[in-house]
């Protein structure tokens, strides 16, 4: 598979940090969900197909669950043969997995993505790289109502305004030194985060900006999510928009 011949967006070298350490428990699978086949490709392949189309991606660093290192290496060789790759172990938590990816990254600019978001387009990577901010990610408006609760009493304690609340999505772009420093402080303070924009802002007070995302950017977590993604892929295929052309 050849790489896209488009010109680079900048002279900065970029590492793609691809979270792929999940074990598929919530998805009710007997194997990690990133290897689940969607329209003939393992789920992880859709992120690799998009990355292959972006000349600025100079390196891909990916987690592999224990026992799946060889399978991960085979997929990398098949889908991104022209890009240097590294495989690192998965952490016990998402946060630890990102930290391990950071430790292995070679370049000052990194893009964090996850194999569980197969609806990725190359334009999302490119728009992050075009953005002037060092730290920026996708966020989408929330269409449903939310509330805060007290789990101990079972009471609703207040409304959460949608106007100032967004759904955090990936991919995200970071300055590697900033991301590493945020993770180092989070470890020192024994604080756990489920994504890295809030981690960097909370731990360091770093400026992190957002680009409005798309509702199609689904994170596959639960069994029903697989059916939704399959339908979306099939719909694009009917419209003649094959994934490897995104």
- pLDDT for residue 31: 87
Q: Of 1, 246, 3, whose CA–CA distance to 126 is shortest?
A: 246
The residue with tokens 């086949």 is: 37
Instruction: Supply 84's token pair.
Output: 């240097």
User: Structure tokens of 125?
Assistant: 């990577």
Question: Distance between CA atoms of 207 and 24, rounded to whole angstroms?
Answer: 34
Concatenating the DSSP letter of every residue in 76-108 gives: HHHH-TTS-EEEEEPPSSHHHHHHHHHHH--SS
pLDDT confidence band for 239 (50 / 70 / 90): confident
Return the structure tokens found at 122.
């190359």
Token couple for 233: 């892929």
Return the residue matching tokens 């590492």.
15
Rounded to whole angstroms, the Cα distance separating 30 from 223 reads 12
The stretch 35-42 carries a mean pLDDT of 92
Residue 135 has pLDDT above 80, yes or no: yes
- Tens of pLDDT along 218-234? 999 888 999 899 888 77
Q: Look over the chain and give the mean of its residue pLDDT values, rounded to a whole number.
A: 92
Q: What mean pLDDT comes out for the span 43-50?
A: 96
Collapse the DSSP code of 65 into the 3-class scheme (helix H, G, I; strand E, B; otherwise coil) and give the result: coil
Q: What is the pTM of this model?
A: 0.92
Q: How confident is the model at residue 26 (pLDDT cuts 50, 70, 90)?
A: low
3-state secondary structure of 226: helix
**What's the CA gap between 40 and 171, in Å, rounded?**
23
Which one has a higher pLDDT value, 122 or 6?
122
For residue 39, give both structure tokens. Answer: 């329209």
Question: How many Å apart are CA 175 and CA 55, to the nearest integer?
Answer: 19
> What tokens were used for 25?
């428990």
DSSP state of 60: E
Average pLDDT over residues 190-213: 98
| Residue ranges in 63-195 assigned as alpha helix (H) | 69-79, 94-104, 122-130, 176-188
Residue whose C-alpha is closest to residue 18's, from 68, 50, 58, 62: 62
| Terminal CA-CA length for the chain | 15
| pLDDT range class, residue 246, cuts 50, 70, 90 | very low
């Amino acid at each position: 598979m050849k790489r896209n011949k488009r010109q680079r967006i900048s002279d900065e070298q970029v590492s793609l940090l691809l979270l792929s350490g999940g074990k598929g428990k919530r998805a009710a699978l007997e194997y990690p969900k990133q290897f689940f086949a969607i329209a003939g490709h393992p789920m992880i392949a859709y992120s690799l197909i998009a990355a292959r189309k972006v000349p600025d991606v100079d390196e891909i660093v990916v987690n592999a669950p224990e026992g799946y290192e060889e399978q991960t290496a085979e997929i990398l060789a098949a889908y991104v043969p022209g890009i240097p790759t590294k495989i690192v172990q998965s952490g016990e938590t998402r946060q630890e997995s990102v930290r391990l990816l950071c430790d292995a990254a070679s370049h000052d600019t990194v893009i964090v993505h996850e194999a569980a978001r197969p609806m990725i387009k190359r334009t999302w990577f490119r728009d992050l790289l075009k953005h002037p901010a060092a730290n920026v990610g996708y966020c989408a408006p929330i269409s449903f109502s939310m509330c805060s609760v007290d789990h101990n009493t079972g009471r609703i304690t207040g409304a959460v305004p949608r106007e100032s609340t967004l759904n955090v999505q990936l991919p995200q772009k970071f300055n590697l030194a900033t991301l590493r420093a945020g993770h180092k402080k989070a470890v020192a303070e024994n604080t756990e985060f489920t994504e890295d924009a809030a981690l960097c802002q909370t731990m360091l007070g770093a400026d992190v900006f957002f680009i409005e995302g798309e509702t199609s950017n689904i994170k596959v977590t639960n069994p029903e999510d697989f059916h939704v993604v399959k339908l979306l892929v099939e719909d694009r295929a009917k419209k003649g928009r094959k994934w490897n052309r995104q």
